[in-house]
Amino acid sequence: MEHAVKGASGQVLKWQQWNRGARKVLWVLALVGVALSMPIGASRWQMEKTADTVEYVFDYSDLVLVASYQAKPEEFLGAELEKLKAAGVGTMSVFESRLDELEMAGRLGLYSEAEAALLQNKPVPANRNFTYLLFEGGAEQAALEPIIRDRFEASGIRVEDWSFDGLAGLVLETPLSDAVLKTMEPDPLALDRLSQAGFQLLPRLSDRIPYDQRQADGMLARFKELGVTRILFDGNAVKGAAEQANLRSLDGFAELLNKYGIGLSAIENLKKPQEGLNTLAYKTHYNVARLYSLSDKDAAALKPDVIVDRFLLAAKDRNIRMFYLNAAPSSNLDKGMVTHPMDNLYASIGGKDGAVQTLDRAGFPSGQATAFERDQPSWHKPLKGAAVLGAVSLIALLAGAFFSGLTLPVFLLGLAGSAGLYVLNSSLMEQGLALGAAIAAPTLAMVWVINRIYAHTDGPRRAVGGEWTASGSEATFQVSPWSAMLGGLSQPGTRWVFHGLSAGRRLSMALVMFIVTTLISLLAVPIVVGLLNNITYSLVLEQFRGVNLLALAPMGLAAVYLFLFTGGSFWTSLRRVLSLQITILWISAAAVLGIVGLYYLSRTGNSGTAPGFELVFRNLLESTFGVRPRTKEFLLAHPLMLLGLFLALRYRAAWVLLVVGAMGQLSMVGTFTHIHTPLPMSLIRVLLGLGLGLLIGLVLIAAWQIGEALFRRLRSRFKEASVHA
């Protein structure tokens, strides 16, 4: 029996030795993964420089709608087109047409059965309900009649010739309410007019017309003759999405787009991605430009300088290369007239301080938006394999930091799981490993710095409440009402104050530890960039998943490590925590933390929102530095991290500040998970946050030192007064 116990003990010891040796190897593998991922990041850096031209687009249907509320619509329309051209708008967007829109544009007249009978002085037929239309002239008939016939006959609706008072027309054997819902090709007369006026055209196509390869070929051929280089989709799906299963329509439409050299536009921040867009993007070799749409409400309500700031930030931070302008008429009772935002848009786009010249000065000249020139050399694959190995190593090191026996099993399991997931879904594997590395590196950094703090201090507990008194050269814990409320988390004998290090020594140590912690956290960045080096992320056709988990996990793991894995047995610490008495104070603290956590998560990720005062502060930072550092980094996490390191070398209670400081470490890594943000911008943002955060942290340390000195002086005087009394 004793021999068996010794044998088992020996096996355990050998396993522990293997894990200790494995940690060294895994750190080497992680560093190799970091180094070999950097060339992939350099390739992405070069790619991001290949498409700087921005394109300004105006919605032509909005302009027609605004013109319809004017006394002389046609004259107004012509004048506004000239103003748009002069302001710098080079492209007009043209939607697919409907009969009611063609009527509003003055192309034809529409009549119901009753209206047509009244027009002809005839009684209304009792047994039919057709739609009647009259073309305004021969040019309108020649351009529109073939389109109308094709669309309605394709829907099984009979179309007959009709005329009245010398004007040619058609009878559509369907009610007017149904006829105006049929979507047709874009108005060819509008396309010709805008092209002749010198505008580039951006057709907006939908999936509302039954897909026909021949019809699509003819339409794209006409677009090509008019100089169209890009199309934008309208509605929830791209053209051909509905018929893909039966007709392989997306495949056919992609072939036509490639045949005519026409690319796509992807609208930013849609609530739901347009169905089929990813497929078309892939089949057109990602000939895609990202588009930001300024709503008609914002066009009317926002000041020109705010619009310019939005456009500049979108171009710099989010790779936006197309700006889409909307407008709408509105009734103004105060002015007693129908107003529109056209003048506000001219002020926002044109002029010395308008968007066109402002973005041009920032390196984004106006013209036709182009797709990124991307290259996927064969040497990317082995380097991405090194990134995979580095990510798995970091994840295994994280597991071993908490339970040393898990280092090797997690590493081997990670390799096997990554290989299997690569076969099933390589994108999911890359995102999973990127998330794991992004969590692991900041957490490992916090584990390292917590251990360094612990090594330079003395005491087996991590009490966060209590009082201290001097006893000889060290402080000993005294049981207080506060510790009682904590339910026994602190024990007699816990040291609260650590002597022996001067303020200057603590400051230098805090600075060094802050720098090393930051470097460890940033190990994840090249690996994340290498794993997610795909044009789909730059175009936001695919997004990094797990933003909320990344925002919380390193902070939570740092807190767990601080309270359960330092200075004593994990199981002893866990039993003590589980045996705590739940008090009103605990419940109140949990409620406060929950509210703060919800607010923090609401501000995290692509859908995060910010209050008005913070938006003003953001704009101030943007205008001051050119690149906006993250507020939570330089104003909160980094300063508190530096202050916490400085204080933790003397006061145990300050250790909790390290958990807040972990927010800054994870946020730096999180900045690089926004793949649509150019790498130089992310790097500058992180460096600015570090620089400003360090400065503010030094100010906090100076303020603490002054406050501490004043407190000691006041306490000394109070003691002297008590003695004399």
Place of tokens 């929950």: 594
* For range 675-696, the mean pLDDT: 93
Element (H, E) at 96: strand 91-97
Packing angle of the helix pair 2-47, 380-402 (nearest 10 deg) = 140
**pLDDT of 492 above 90:** no
Q: Which two tokens stand for residue 196?
A: 């002749």
CB atoms within 10 A of CB 337: 9
User: Facing residues of 477 across strands?
Assistant: 468
Q: What is the pLDDT of residue 160?
A: 95
pLDDT grade for 28, boundaries at 50, 70 and 90: very high
The string of pLDDT tens digits covering residues 574-590 is: 666 566 566 665 566 55
Q: Which two tokens stand for residue 626?
A: 């050119």
**pLDDT of 183 above 60:** yes
Q: Which residue has the higher pLDDT, 488 or 656?
A: 656
**pLDDT of 446 above 90:** yes
**pLDDT of 613 above 90:** no
The string of pLDDT tens digits covering residues 342-399 is: 999 999 999 899 999 999 999 999 999 999 998 888 899 999 999 999 999 999 999 9
Residue closest to 103 by CA, chosen among 140, 76, 146, 78: 140
Residue closest to 98 by CA, chosen among 72, 61, 59: 61
Q: What is the pLDDT of residue 80?
A: 96
Q: What is the pLDDT of residue 652?
A: 84
In terms of phi and psi (left: phi > 0; alpha: psi -120 to 50; beta: otherwise), the region of 182 is beta
Range of weakest confidence among 303-307, 543-547, 564-568, 706-710 = 564-568
CA distances from 359 to 303, 309, 321 (A): 17, 10, 11
- Tell me the pLDDT of the chain averaged across its residues: 86
Report the alpha-carbon distance of residue 216 to residue 697 in Å, rounded. 62
Report the alpha-carbon distance of residue 536 to residue 285 in Å, rounded. 11
* For range 79-95, the mean pLDDT: 96
Q: Which two tokens stand for residue 359?
A: 């973005």
Q: Which residue has the higher pLDDT, 628 or 205?
A: 205
The string of pLDDT tens digits covering residues 390-443 is: 999 999 999 999 988 889 899 999 999 999 998 999 899 999 999 999 999 999
Q: What is the pLDDT of residue 481?
A: 35
* For range 147-171, the mean pLDDT: 94
Percent of the chain with pLDDT over 90: 66
Q: What is the pLDDT of residue 484?
A: 37
**pLDDT of 199 above 90:** yes
**Structural domains for the chain:** 54-94+203-370 (3.20.20), 99-182 (no CATH), 421-457+498-720 (no CATH)
Report the alpha-carbon distance of residue 317 to residue 294 in Å, rounded. 17
Q: What is the pLDDT of residue 16?
A: 66
Range of weakest confidence among 9-23, 168-182, 310-324 = 9-23
Residue pair 52/364 in contact by the 8 Å Cβ criterion? yes
Pairing of strands 55-59, 320-325: parallel
One-letter amino acid of 59: D
* For range 20-36, the mean pLDDT: 92
Range of weakest confidence among 170-174, 194-198, 485-489, 714-718 = 485-489
Percent of the chain with pLDDT over 70: 84
Q: What is the pLDDT of residue 551?
A: 84
**Which residues contact residue 195 at a Cβ distance below 8 angstroms, ignoring those fewer than 6 apart?**
201, 226, 227
Report the alpha-carbon distance of residue 51 to residue 628 in Å, rounded. 22
Q: Which residue has the higher pLDDT, 715 or 571?
A: 715
pLDDT grade for 489, boundaries at 50, 70 and 90: very low
The string of pLDDT tens digits covering residues 265-295 is: 999 988 888 999 999 999 999 999 999 999 9
Q: What is the pLDDT of residue 482?
A: 33
CB atoms within 10 A of CB 209: 21
* Three-point CA angle 55, 59, 64, nearest 5°: 145
Q: What is the pLDDT of residue 471?
A: 38
**pLDDT of 594 above 60:** no
* For range 664-669, the mean pLDDT: 94
**Which residues contact residue 288 at a Cβ distance below 8 angstroms, ignoring those fewer than 6 apart?**
263, 264, 265, 266, 281, 371, 539, 541
**pLDDT of 647 above 60:** yes
Chain-centre distance for alpha carbon 236: 21
* For range 251-262, the mean pLDDT: 96
The string of pLDDT tens digits covering residues 112-145 is: 999 999 999 998 888 899 999 999 999 999 999 9
Whether the model clears a pTM of 0.95, i.e. scores above it, the answer is no
CB atoms within 10 A of CB 245: 9
Residue pair 172/179 in contact by the 8 Å Cβ criterion? yes
Residue pair 157/131 in contact by the 8 Å Cβ criterion? no
Q: How many CA atoms lie within 13 A of 10 on its CB side?
A: 6
* For range 697-720, the mean pLDDT: 89
